Amino acid sequence: MAVYTEVPDGELNTFLAQYDLGNVVACKGIAEGVENSNYLLRTTLGTYILTLYEKRVAREDLPFFLGLMEHLAAKGLSCPTPIHARDGQTLHELCGRPAVIVSFLEGMWPRRPTERHCQQLGAALADLHLKGRDFTLSRANALSLAGWQKLVEATKDRADEVEPGLGKVIVDELAFLNAHWPKDLEIGVIHADLFPDNVFFLNDRLSGLIDFYFACTDFLAYDLAVCLNAWCFEPDHSFNITKARLMVQAYQSVRPVPSVETAALPLLCRGSALRFLLTRLYDWLNHPPGAFVKPKDPREYLRKLRFHQGAASAGAYGIG
Ligand SMILES: Nc1ncnc2c1ncn2[C@@H]1O[C@H](COP(=O)(O)OP(=O)(O)OP(=O)(O)O)[C@@H](O)[C@H]1O
Ligand SMILES: N[C@@H](CCO)C(=O)O
Q: What would the pLDDT profile of 84-109 be if each residue is shown by its tens digit? A: 999 999 999 999 999 999 999 999 99
What pLDDT score does 289 carry? 74
Mean pLDDT over all residues of the chain? 95
| Domain identity same for 213 and 293 | yes
Which ligand 2 atom is nearest residue 276's CA? 8
ipTM entry: 0.93
Instruction: List residues near ligand 2 (CB under 6 A).
Output: 193, 195, 276, 279-280, 296
Name beta bridge partners: 28. Answer: 40
Output the pLDDT for position 1: 43
Ligand nearest to the CA of 275: 2
Residue 122 pLDDT > 80: yes
Residue 46 and residue 170 in one domain: no
Q: Which domain holds residue 43?
A: 9-103
Return the ligand number nearest the Cα of 197: 1
Using the 8-state DSSP alphabet, how is residue 292 labeled? S
Find the CATH number of the domain harbouring 187: 3.90.1200.10
In DSSP terms, 102 is beta-bridged to 49, 82
Number of domains in the chain: 2
d(CA 123, CA 127): 6
130-151 residue pLDDT tens: 999 999 999 999 999 999 999 9
Inform me whether the pLDDT recorded for 204 exceeds 90.
Answer: yes
CATH of the domain at 39: 3.30.200.20
**What single-letter DSSP state applies at residue 56?**
T
pTM: 0.95
- Residue 2 lies inside a defined structural domain of this protein: no
CA dist 131 and 233 (Å) reads 28
| Order of all β-strands in the sheet with 92-94 | 24-29, 37-43, 46-52, 97-103, 92-94
Q: Would you say 7 and 39 are in contact if contact means Cβ atoms under 8 Å apart?
A: yes
CA distance 291 to 295: 9
Share of the chain above pLDDT 70, in %: 98
- Ligand 1 atom closest to the Cα of residue 80 is 1
Pair 279, 156 in one domain: yes
Same domain membership, residue 192 and residue 138: yes
Cβ burial of 154 (10 Å; 0-12, 13-18, 19+) is middle
Considering the domain architecture, whether residues 179 and 225 belong to the same structural domain is answered as yes
Domain limit, last residue, from 51, 74, 103: 103
262 and 151 both lie in a single domain: yes
Neighbours of 14 (CB within 10 A): 11
Residues 97 and 119 in one domain: no
Nearest atom in ligand 2 to 195's CA = 1
Q: Which of 151, 190, 193 to mutate to test the pocket of ligand 2 (most atoms within 8 A of CB)?
A: 193
Q: What Rg do the C-alpha atoms of the chain give, in angstroms?
A: 20
Q: Among 79, 103, 127, where does a domain finish? A: 103
Residue that is last in its domain, among 76, 103, 130:
103
* Helix (H), strand (E) at residue 135: none
Segments in the chain forming alpha helices (H): 9-16, 62-74, 115-131, 145-155, 166-180, 220-231, 241-254, 259-286, 298-309
